[in-house]
Amino acid sequence: LSDRKADPGHRVRVVPAICEAIKGQIRTGASGPGARLPSTRALAAEWGVSRTTVTAAYEQLLAEGYLETRQGARAQVVRGFDPHALKSIKDQQPAPAMRLSDYGQRLLDFAVPPQSDASRLVADFRYGDLAAADFPTIAWKKAINATLLHRPSRLRYDDPCGSVALREALQGYLWRARGLRCEVDQIVVVNGSQQGLDLCARLLLNPGDRVVVENPCYNLALQTFVAAGAELIPLAVDREGMRTDGLCEARLSYVTPSHQFPLGSVMSVRRRQELLAWARRTGSYVIEDDYDGEYRFDMAPIPPLQLMDSGERVIYLGTVSKTLSPTLRLGYLVVPPALSTPCSKAKRLMDRHTPSLEQEAFAAFIDSGSYERHVRRVRRRNGDRRAALLAALSEHLGNQVTVVGADAGLHVVVWLDGVPQERAHELFERAHAVGLGLYPVGSLYLPSPSVSPPHIVGLVVGYASLSERDIVHGVRRLATMLEDLQATPVRNKHLTHQPSRRGPTAG
């Protein structure tokens, strides 16, 4: 006994054991409401522990509300609660059904693509993935470590719109890289462009409001607006970008003018003017998603729509997901001045602010010039990958495919001229079987009277995560697979297959 008392860790283990034992007695009714507990002396003797240990256990149960004491009297089990309820509610009745908000209900309709296991594929052309080897590990580590060592004396919540250091760095970067001029107060640092989209949807859309979108369009943008209860107005896309002749009364428009996702066209000046005039006339906002503005291979990047906006209608959205890593969750909005305060208040309630460490590290990374050097480096790397892809497509599939949108960005759209939509299902089945990660452009189309969905299968081919060798290998395998497919008669059961509206996303 004395050994047990002398063990310094003993009390740590024995107090919970005594508490559990007493709770057990309360649960089983052995000590009912109002029952007096043994004196500390008696229980100490029973357990072979010191009275202090028992007192600690009683105090714990007192604090948890199982016991009550009155001046001078022994502790007793509290009255007014049902000890049986402590364990038996579960058996009495099933849990009530889940009740979600309208927002929650709308979410349930969205299919979420399974996380494919890229390592099991020979070549995974999934758009949005980057090669880890391209990440500037050493420089980023340096920026992170420097930030960790230069802490302020207090740790406290930062400005909801982001650290001033980062916003100043971004202000300079956006001017140098994109010709975009703005005040620091117009910049809102967000957790990747997805949070930027969500922030806009929440601030600007009521259920039932209309949102003009490109057709085809980035899937997660559509889901964000639909989740907000909005009605989508899909407008067709051609070589000049989104067609503006279908513009109608709406609260918001979402466009990718520098490099339409997924088709790759650049919005013409004419269309840009029409879109801005419409926004001004109707009081709508335009979200300009500049998701891959850093990747223009043949010339200077296309200037953002934001530059032409004299009406304070454009919300510019940028990200590091295509230059550094999608896992950093860093993005930024440049909003019209009037939206600064609402954005700040919303971001505060959404998650206070974006994590400080990443923000400060990114600020240091920009300020030291490392970011722009890095962007130039990965632009060259991805230029090489693109060249390998285009060469392989031309060599192995030259007369069977049409490639569009290759001037910029990290993906191209490859139309398989000889493969009708009816064979889409079969094609993706075969692709999976031979270890190819292929993603249909068809799933990015919205049903619309003005846009005929494509008759042939198209692929969104992302190449930023692959080596040139894997790209060439993948294209060769695609060529072989297409040959096999063409040699096989059409299977009847798939004649009616339509790509699902919200199937696997390319985003």
Is the CB of 6 or the CB of 157 nearer to a copy of itself? 157
Is the CB of 223 or the CB of 400 nearer to a copy of itself? 223
Is the CB of 4 or the CB of 11 nearer to a copy of itself? 11
Q: Which of 2, 71, 119, 496 binds a copy of itself (CB under 8 A)?
A: 119
3-state SS assignment for residue 397: helix
Is the CB of 42 or the CB of 81 nearer to a copy of itself? 81
Q: Give, in order, the Cα–Cα distances in Å from 356 to each of 43, 148, 215, 330, 346.
A: 52, 10, 37, 11, 18
Tokens found for residue 117: 């296991």
Is 107 near a copy of itself (CB under 8 A)?
Answer: yes
Candidate segments 286-294, 346-354, 419-427, 441-449, binder of a copy of itself by CB under 8 A: 346-354
Print the binding letters for residues 40-79 with a copy of itself: x by CB under 8 A, - otherwise: ----------------x--xx--xxxx-----------x-
Q: Enumerate the H helices of 261-369 as residue ranges.
A: 269-282, 340-351, 356-367
Is 454 near a copy of itself (CB under 8 A)?
Answer: no
Q: Please, which of residues 383-442 interact with a copy of itself by CB under 8 A?
A: 407
Is 122 near a copy of itself (CB under 8 A)?
Answer: no
Question: What whole-number distance in Å separates Cα of residue 20 and Cα of residue 158?
Answer: 43
Give me the least distance between CB of 497 and a copy of itself, in Å please: 25
Instruction: Report whether 105 contacts 330 (CB < 8 A).
Output: no
CB atoms within 10 A of CB 336: 17
Print the binding letters for residues 257-276 with a copy of itself: x by CB under 8 A, - otherwise: ---------xxxxxxxxx-x
CA nearest to 452, candidates 266, 277, 236, 256: 236
Question: Total residues at the site for a copy of itself (CB under 8 A)?
Answer: 131
**HSE of 364, CA atoms in CB hemisphere, 13 A:** 18
Q: Give, in order, the Cα–Cα distances in Å from 108 to each of 71, 201, 360.
A: 56, 18, 37
Q: Which of 178, 329, 385, 396 binds a copy of itself (CB under 8 A)?
A: 329
Q: Please, which of residues 16-45 interact with a copy of itself by CB under 8 A?
A: 16, 19
Tokens found for residue 178: 């994109």
Give me the least distance between CB of 416 and a copy of itself, in Å please: 25
Is the CB of 139 or the CB of 456 nearer to a copy of itself? 139
What is the CA angle 277-282-283, rounded to 5?
95
Is 178 near a copy of itself (CB under 8 A)?
Answer: no
Residues 6+ apart with CB under 8 A from 292: 258, 259, 322, 408, 409, 410
Print the binding letters for residues 135-174 with a copy of itself: x by CB under 8 A, - otherwise: x-x--xx--xx--xx-xxxxxxxxx---------------
